[in-house]
Amino acid sequence: MAIKVGIVGYGNLGKGVQQAIAQNPDFELVAIFTRREPEQMTSLLGEVKFEHISAADAYIGVIDVMIMCGGSATDLPEQTPVMARMFSTVDSFDTHANIPAFFDVVDAAARENGKVSVISTGWDPGLFSLNRLLAQSILPEGTDYTFWGKGVSQGHSDAIRRVPGVKGGVQYTIPVADVIERIRSGETPELSTREKHLRECYIVAAENANQEEIRNAIVSMPNYFSDYDTTVNFITEEQLREEHGEMPHGGFVIRSGITGQGKRQIIEFGLKLDSNPEFTASVLVAYARAVVRMSREGQKGAKTVFDVPFSYLSPKSAEELRRDLL
């Protein structure tokens, strides 16, 4: 029986989810929910039903899982708890410092009506989180390093676009290359946040906006830019469209540890992505499958990637997984 899905939000991530659903035959897209006027929306892939987000309650009992595709700065903290009272959900909330508080709010909302909500999926948090857990468990004596980029961060780009006076913009996260090579060679330096990454913003300012005020608002933004060396560049709409229209990303999780009599062991997991939103969307869809399986088992409340068996992400049976992948 097909998993019936709703999408909340139809920006880059929502469009990526629609594409990912098309690649998974056990899913059926029921409707896309938007804050915009539904009749003005057009679908990336053929015909699809658009509904205003306020109409979501009409789909209670119809949609198995709601995939939340808003931004972490303001959308998900408001929308996920509301939807979690009506549907099982999955989201990619990525403000690391606020995850514990977000979990508690969503957990209470989901338990209210016996729903399951997997929060903070994607690749970091998400796949990188799992690899940090795995590496720490295997190498208890060691040091973790996480590097992002070079690439466009969706969450950080969304955050800068919400700064007053910003008409458009993207943010690139850039790892410090020589630091990565030192770690790969076996060094275990103590690094501050600022020493590992640079952040580079390209901004289209609204007409008559104060560029210095925009710059100060960005570089002082807690959880996003205040702990990094951040460069803010002002460009035209044409430059933004032509030079920064793609959304590549990637990164590495590295743990350097010691076993036995001082033998150096290094575990590394990496991603190189042509499209950050399309990849994140694919992770969301896999975890949406897991959400439905857990819901059908009678589980409830908020979950993270640490609570989800890998086998629940796959459409294959346990027998098929043992035969084909073990």
The count of other CB atoms within 10 Å of the CB of residue 1 is 6
Q: What is the pLDDT of residue 225?
A: 96
Provide the H-helix boundaries in the chain: 12-22, 75-84, 99-112, 127-138, 154-161, 177-184, 193-196, 211-219, 237-243, 276-296, 318-324
Q: What is the pLDDT of residue 193?
A: 87
* Tens-place pLDDT, residues 36-62: 999 999 998 988 999 999 999 999 999
Q: What is the pLDDT of residue 154?
A: 75
Provide the H-helix boundaries in 244-308: 276-296
Q: What percent of the chain shows pLDDT beyond 70?
A: 100
Q: What is the pLDDT of residue 44?
A: 83
Report, as an integer, the average pLDDT of 284-290. 98
Looking at residue 48, what DSSP letter applies?
A: -
Phi first, then psi: give them for residue 270, nearest 5 degrees.
-135, 155
Q: Describe the chain by its helix, strand, coil percentages, rounded to 5.
A: 40, 25, 35
- Taking 80 as the threshold, does the pLDDT of residue 272 lie above it? yes
